[in-house]
Chains A and B, each alone.
Chain A
Amino acid sequence: MDMTYAGAEAKVARRKRSAIARYAAPYLFISPWILGFLFFTLGPLVFSLTMSFYDWPVVGERTFVGLDNYRSMLFDDPQFWESLWITVKFAAIYVPFNIIMSFLLALMLHNITFASGFFRTAFYLPSVISGVALVTIWSWIYSKEYGLLNFMLSLVGIDGPNWLGDPNLAIVAIIIASLWGLGGTMLILLTGLKAIPKELYEAATVSGVPGWAQMLFITLPMLGPMLLFTFITSIISAFQQLTIALLLTKGGPLGSTYFFAMYIYDNAFKYFDMGYAAAGSWVMFIIVLALSLGVMRWSAAWVYYEGEVRQNDGEGHA
């Protein structure tokens, strides 16, 4: 009698344990990300927001200063506005060029079959290498006397300028070097083009829709989600621009390539004013967030989601 009772109890206990295990299992699987999110994302975000309200040197007393960091940044620090303006200028040129050129290249690659693999690879190649290597390569392309670029210009009779020494040209030089890495964007758009059903074009051609209209009413709307994605990632990377400027021009000449990210970097790791730097990074975060949300809202007018009908495609079981 007792034996049976104990057996039944063990059975119930086992079932209970397996129910808990079943309930906990998904959380166990995603726990690496949850922990990482807490320690390497949410924690740092809260931490840096806190720091931005303090006078916070790396060593020594920290004092609460309220909004003083933000106030002096906005009203007493010309470098803040200058570096922000340089970054906005850079983004305003880099982002559209990056997307338009990637789109055109993707379109060209989409229309060929022979050697398409070769060309895809060629355009993607610069994206594979380190920013440090990229900068070294470009530093002697831009060299005034021995540079490849000025040699090319001399062939068509132009006396090449001092690319990295001229305050007006240095930023152009950085934009060109950055655009050299458009391979990733191009690849995303190319995959997007390949995913558009051919029947749409066939039907349009049969109905006598001209090529430009097919582009306008089929290609661009169908590519919408991809264009939106590349738009937002380009904005983010434009605002984060640091490696190239840090190594190619060191912010010069005459501060003409002193990007916002470099301003934050210098405040943190050169002047060790962590609170002030944290305030700067939050200003950047808010700008990037506002721009991304703005683009997303604006995109509702032109992005068409094919998948919108089939929601909950991730049917799962516990």
Chain B
Amino acid sequence: MRKTLLYSALILLSALFIAPFYWTFMTAIKNTADLYQFPPVFWPSEWHWENFAAAWNKQPFGTYLTNSVIVVVFSTIGQLISSSLVAYGFARFRFPGRDPLFIVLLATMMIPWDVKMIPLYMEFNMLGWINTLKPLIVPAYFADAFFVFLLRQYIMTVPMEIDEAARMDGANAFDIYWRIHLPLMMPALVLVGTFHFMNAWNDYLGPLIFLNDQSKYTLTLGLSMFKGLHEVDVTSIAAITVILCLPPLALFFIAQRYIMDGAVGSSVKG
């Protein structure tokens, strides 16, 4: 009885979280006549798959896609390398200043982005990086605090004896990182890679501030331009929204096990 109630509530609530996705997809695929019906059409009379191609061709989305992919691929590589190196440094060494530095690292997670937004713009402006993809890629090579924290917690669960055995065999610190910890960290790295991919792919404010030319736009920026350009072109907006959602959703389903296994939560415990 209690379970029935619980499940009914869950079904109802989860519908609230899924329905908008369904609605967006249906909006993308409807014909114009179905679009402006009241009551709304929940199952389209005709399926217009060509809406996707039509929307894609209304702006240079091919260029946007290329830009998004460049940003995502190169920044993810940087994030994985730098965060794992730093995490290993904090987890496996004892050195003067380690604990205060780690506290500083944790504290940086609490700084609102707005405070850094303006000086970063000026900084990148001085470097001549405005209107290039560099501001969206280069910072990822300098380790993100949250990911460092997450990976450090993970490394600390590995018994120290493994490191010592390797050292006996003549391995140096980098060998131990490269040959032992990196492979062992794989599940956590999948998690970091997934989160970073999503952040980079979904980022809107970064591209908005650092990019000017349409030829440099990423997909999120292109989609937001749609709203200004064709206020009424609901079908195209929906179609691009669906396309924009697909990669993160697909990645999420692939990496789901790692995300749901709670690496997120266990890292928070400190």
Contacts and interface: CB of A to CB of B under 8 A. Distances in A.
B148 interface: yes
B145 to A, nearest CB: 8
B204 A318 contact: no
A94 to B, nearest CB: 15
A41 B94 contact: no
Interface in B234-270: 234, 237-238, 241, 244-245, 248-249, 252, 256, 259-260, 262, 264-266, 268-270
Contact of A141 (B23, B98, B122, B234): B23
A146 B35 contact: yes
A284 B117 contact: no
B259 to A, nearest CB: 8
A117 B259 CA distance: 12
B82 A284 contact: no
Contact of A29 (B14, B177, B205, B270): B177
Nearest to B113: A240
A281 B245 contact: no
B118 A151 contact: no
Contacts of A288: 110, 112
Given A45-B115, A47-B119, A268-B117, A140 B89 contact: no
Given A112-B6, A128-B252, A130-B248, A274 B14 contact: no
Contacts of A151: 38-40
Interface of chain B, helix or strand or loop or mixed? helix
A229 B267 CA distance: 11
B93 to A, nearest CB: 4
Interface string A268-302: 11000010011001101100110010000000000
Given A30-B89, A36-B139, A133 B18 contact: no
Interface residues of A, number: 98
Contacts of B91: 314, 316
B123 A130 contact: no
Interface string B1-36: 001001101100110011111011001000000011
B35 A128 contact: no
Contacts of A154: 39
A36 B143 contact: yes
A212 to B, nearest CB: 15
Interface stretch (A72-80, A190-198, A201-209): A190-198
Given A33-B148, A145-B38, A136 B119 contact: no
Contacts of B203: 130
5 contacts: A29-B89, A43-B119, A148-B23, A314-B156, A316-B91
Shortest Cβ-Cβ A-B pairs, 3 listed: A191-B265, A36-B142, A29-B89
